[in-house]
């Protein structure tokens, strides 16, 4: 079976990237990472990529804080196309994607979000859930569409919030599940097992 070529977009620590690297090495994931792109030159994820001999690059996002400038967006598209990426995985990439990038890779972009969508979209989802006082939260892998944290859901994992949990311990527990379900979702796509019907995905 042909390996799925991944383009992974990061902004920070890159622990989800690391989990993908480790799962590929452990033969749990029929994929290869063609390129890691960071909007932040100091992202530790760039070091993780280098340590694993994976091609990585910082592409300046331009003047905005929460999206790419038009010029930057073109650079991202060019880089992803040049590296013949089949699937873009947002792994802690803290910017909203705009139309040109979405259209260039329609149906081929996925994201991991640290809450059970549609609850707590947006920034600091773990904090939102913790402060709200929910007893269960978790994480979601979903296709990316033109609304924030909104596209069809591929996989979710539930995490129980215990009395003794702090925001930090909860975040840690959620992250552990993220590392598991992100690779599982990518593997389903690598095996061409996912069909999308409106908002719903089915596994064949």
- Alpha-carbon gap, residue 88 to 7, rounded angstroms: 5
- Alpha-carbon gap, residue 68 to 75, rounded angstroms: 10
- Alpha-carbon gap, residue 58 to 75, rounded angstroms: 11
In the complex, what is the shortest distance from the CB of residue 91 to ligand GAR, in angstroms, rounded to a whole number? 5
- The contact mask relative to ligand GAR for 9-28 (x = CB under 6 A, - = no) is -x-xxxxx------------
113 carries an active-site annotation: yes
What does DSSP assign to residue 2?
P
- The contact mask relative to ligand GAR for 132-161 (x = CB under 6 A, - = no) is ------------------------------
In the complex, what is the shortest distance from the CB of residue 121 to ligand GAR, in angstroms, rounded to a whole number? 8
Residue whose CB is nearest to ligand GAR in the complex, by number? 92
In the complex, what is the shortest distance from the CB of residue 204 to ligand GAR, in angstroms, rounded to a whole number? 27
Peptide bond between residue 118 and the one before it cis (omega within 30 degrees of 0): yes
Q: 52, 22 in Cβ contact below 8 A?
A: no
Q: Which of residues 78-117 bind ligand GAR (CB under 6 A)?
A: 91-92, 112-114
**β-bridge partners, 196:** 201
Out of 113, 142, 150, 179, the active site residue is 113
- Alpha-carbon gap, residue 166 to 91, rounded angstroms: 24
Q: Does residue 178 belong to the site contacting ligand GAR (CB under 6 A)? A: yes
Q: Near ligand GAR by CB under 6 A, which window of 7-15, 27-35, 59-67, 158-166?
A: 7-15
What does DSSP assign to residue 201?
E
Question: What distances in angstroms separate CA 126 from CA 94, 96, 130, 139, one per listed residue?
Answer: 15, 18, 6, 9
Q: Please count the residues of this chain forming the interface with ligand GAR, following the rule CB under 6 A.
A: 15
Q: Does residue 61 belong to the site contacting ligand GAR (CB under 6 A)? A: no
Cβ-based nearer residue to ligand GAR, 9 or 80: 9
- Alpha-carbon gap, residue 71 to 60, rounded angstroms: 10
Residues near ligand GAR (CB under 6 A) are: 10, 12-16, 45, 91-92, 112-114, 125, 175, 178
Q: Which residues does the annotation mark as catalytic?
A: 113
């Amino acid at each position: 079976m042909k390996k799925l070529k991944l383009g992974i977009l990061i902004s920070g620590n890159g622990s989800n990237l690391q989990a993908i690297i480790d799962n590929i090495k452990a033969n749990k994931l029929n994929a290869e990472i063609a390129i890691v792109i960071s909007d932040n030159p100091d992202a530790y994820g760039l070091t993780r990529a280098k340590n694993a001999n994976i091609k990585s690059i910082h592409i300046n996002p331009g003047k905005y804080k929460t999206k790419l400038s038009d010029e930057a967006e073109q650079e991202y598209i060019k880089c992803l196309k040049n590296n013949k990426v089949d699937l873009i995985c947002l792994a802690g990439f803290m910017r909203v994607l705009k139309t040109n990038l979405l259209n260039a890779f329609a149906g081929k972009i996925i994201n991991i979000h640290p809450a059970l969508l549609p609850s707590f979209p947006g920034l600091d989802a773990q904090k939102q859930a913790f402060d709200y006082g929910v007893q269960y939260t978790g994480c979601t892998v979903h296709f990316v569409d033109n609304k924030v944290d909104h596209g069809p859901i591929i996989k979710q994992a539930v995490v129980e919030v215990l009395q003794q949990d702090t925001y930090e311990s909860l975040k840690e527990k959620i992250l552990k599940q993220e590392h598991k379900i992100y690779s599982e979702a990518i593997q389903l796509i690598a095996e061409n097992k996912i069909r999308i019907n409106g908002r719903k995905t089915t596994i064949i």
